[in-house]
């Protein structure tokens, strides 16, 4: 007997993956590759858990985040507790628009090599050479990649005010609106 819920989910995931793969080549062809997640110096640096001034809980759903944006102070260290409440694999990554564009190309490579599927991560494949010595371990401190139902955390120090956003760079998700802005409020110690 066919389980209609499982069949519907499988068809949905397959259709979603097909649409993403067909449209993604044009979307990322114009981007430039600048390394793992771009120049981290412009977005901050990995934070230390003991220095975190607060925790922000982030929920990832299919094509949106809750919250959709958040405010930080320059120099503040934040602990992000991230949970994937969607049906697909999602990423919470902190970066600039340019670094996200570069990382989207890497995420596409992960899909093309079978390391990343619509609803699961093949951790064994992520350890393999994807070509030219390129490994896709996805272990950058400014991001976390999660399967449905999984949780993770990112501890990040926002060193200086800059145009920063958080996004899911799984192919097609950013373009579908799965991104938000980091807003900077007054300087630390100014009381604003």
Does residue 145 lie in a domain region? yes
Does residue 192 lie in a domain region? no
Q: How many domains does the chain have?
A: 1
DSSP category for residue 19: H
- In terms of pTM, does the model score above 0.85? no
Looking at residue 135, its pLDDT comes to 60
Asked whether the predicted pLDDT for residue 156 surpasses 80, the reply is yes
In the predicted model, what is the mean pLDDT of residues 186-191?
48
Q: Which residue has the higher pLDDT, 8 or 176?
A: 176
CATH number at residue 153: 2.60.40.420
Does residue 157 lie in a domain region? yes
Residue-wise pLDDT for 55-114, tens only, equals 999 999 999 999 999 999 999 999 999 999 999 999 999 999 999 999 899 899 889 888
For the beta carbon of residue 138, count every other beta carbon within 10 angstroms: 21
Distance between CA atoms of residues 185 and 192, nearest Å: 7
Looking at residue 126, its pLDDT comes to 76
Enclosing domain of residue 152: 4-185
CA distances from 117 to 78, 136, 148, 153, 174 (A): 30, 14, 12, 21, 16
Q: Which residue has the tokens 């220095």?
A: 51
Does residue 139 lie in a domain region? yes
Asked whether the predicted pLDDT for residue 35 surpasses 80, the reply is no
């Amino acid at each position: 007997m066919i389980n209609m819920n499982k069949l519907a989910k499988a068809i949905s995931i397959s259709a979603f993956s097909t649409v993403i793969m067909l449209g993604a080549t044009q979307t990322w062809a114009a981007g430039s590759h600048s390394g793992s997640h771009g120049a981290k110096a412009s977005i901050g640096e990995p934070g230390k858990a003991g220095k975190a001034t607060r925790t922000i809980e982030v929920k990832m759903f299919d094509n949106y985040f809750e919250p959709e944006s958040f405010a930080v102070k320059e120099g503040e260290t934040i602990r992000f507790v991230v949970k994937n409440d969607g049906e697909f694999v999602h990423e919470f990554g902190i970066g600039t628009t340019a670094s996200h564009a570069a990382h989207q190309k890497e995420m596409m490579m992960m899909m093309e090599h079978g390391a990343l599927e619509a609803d699961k991560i093949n951790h064994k494949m992520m350890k393999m050479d994807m070509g030219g010595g390129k490994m896709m371990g996805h272990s950058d401190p400014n991001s976390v990649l999660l399967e449905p139902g999984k949780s993770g955390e990112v501890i990040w120090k926002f060193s200086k005010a800059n145009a920063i956003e958080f996004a899911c760079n799984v192919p097609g998700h950013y373009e579908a609106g799965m991104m938000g802005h980091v807003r900077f409020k007054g300087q630390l110690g100014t009381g604003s």
